[in-house]
C-alpha cells in the first residue's frame, strides 16, 4: 500500500514538470515571442501623365534588421529575388515578363529604399525595358 504523500506527489509531478519547463524557457530567452517585424513606411506612388499603375516591385537593401543577403532584394509578385544571384535575376525577369503579358500592362512602379544602390535600381529598370515595359515609375517618399 502506497503512502498518501507518494500518491499526491505522483499526481502533482506532471504539473511540476510543466512549470519547470516554462521557467527554463523564460530563463533561456527573456521573451517567448519572435523578434518584432521590420516596419516600413512605403511611399505613395502617383502616376505619370500617360502611365497607368500596374506592376509594383519593392527594392530593399540586403541588410535589413534580422536578415542578411548578399545584394539587393527585389520583392515582386509574392516572391523574393536577390539581384546578385544570376538565376534570381533570370527568374525575376521571366516572372516580370509573364505578369506584364497576363495583365496587358506596360508600367512598372519601383518602390526603393534610400539605401539601395542606384546601380541596382538602374539594373531593374533595364530588366523592365528588356521585357517591353514602356514606363518605369519611381515612387518617392518625402519626409
- Cα separations in angstroms, 85 against 36, 69, 77, 110: 28, 10, 18, 20
- pLDDT category at 27 given cuts 50, 70, 90 is confident
Burial (Cβ within 10 Å: 0-12, 13-18, ≥19) of residue 124? buried
Q: Which three cell numbers stand for residue 50?
A: 500617360
Q: Distance between terminal CA atoms of the chain? A: 78
Q: What is the pLDDT of residues 87-123, one digit of tens each?
A: 989 999 999 999 999 988 888 989 888 888 888 999 9
Topology given in CATH for the domain delimited by 55-139: Nucleotidyltransferase; domain 5 (3.30.420)
Query: What DSSP designation does 61 have?
Result: -
Cα 10 → chain centroid:
49
Q: What is the pLDDT of residues 52-95, one digit of tens each?
A: 567 999 998 876 555 566 788 899 988 889 888 889 899 999 99
* Stronger pLDDT, 33 or 77, i.e. the higher one: 77
Whether the pTM exceeds 0.75: the reply is no
- Strand runs labelled E in the chain: 55-60, 63-64, 67-68, 73-76, 79-82, 107-112, 135-139
Go through the chain and tell me how many residues it has.
143
The pLDDT score that the predictor gives to residue 50 is 54
Amino acid at each position: 500500500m502506497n503512502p498518501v504523500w507518494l500518491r499526491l506527489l505522483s499526481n502533482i509531478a506532471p504539473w511540476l514538470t510543466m512549470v519547470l519547463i516554462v521557467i527554463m524557457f523564460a530563463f533561456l530567452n527573456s521573451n517567448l515571442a519572435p523578434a518584432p517585424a521590420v516596419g516600413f513606411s512605403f511611399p505613395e506612388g502617383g502616376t505619370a501623365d500617360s502611365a497607368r499603375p500596374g506592376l509594383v516591385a519593392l527594392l530593399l537593401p540586403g541588410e535589413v534588421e534580422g536578415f542578411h543577403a548578399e545584394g539587393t532584394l527585389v520583392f515582386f509578385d509574392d516572391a523574393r529575388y536577390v539581384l546578385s544571384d544570376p538565376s534570381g535575376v533570370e527568374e525575376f525577369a521571366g516572372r516580370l515578363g509573364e505578369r506584364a503579358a497576363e495583365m496587358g500592362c506596360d508600367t512598372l512602379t519601383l518602390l526603393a529604399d534610400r539605401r539601395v544602390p542606384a546601380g541596382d535600381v538602374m539594373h531593374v529598370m533595364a530588366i523592365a525595358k528588356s521585357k517591353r515595359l514602356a514606363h518605369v515609375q519611381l515612387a518617392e517618399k518625402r519626409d
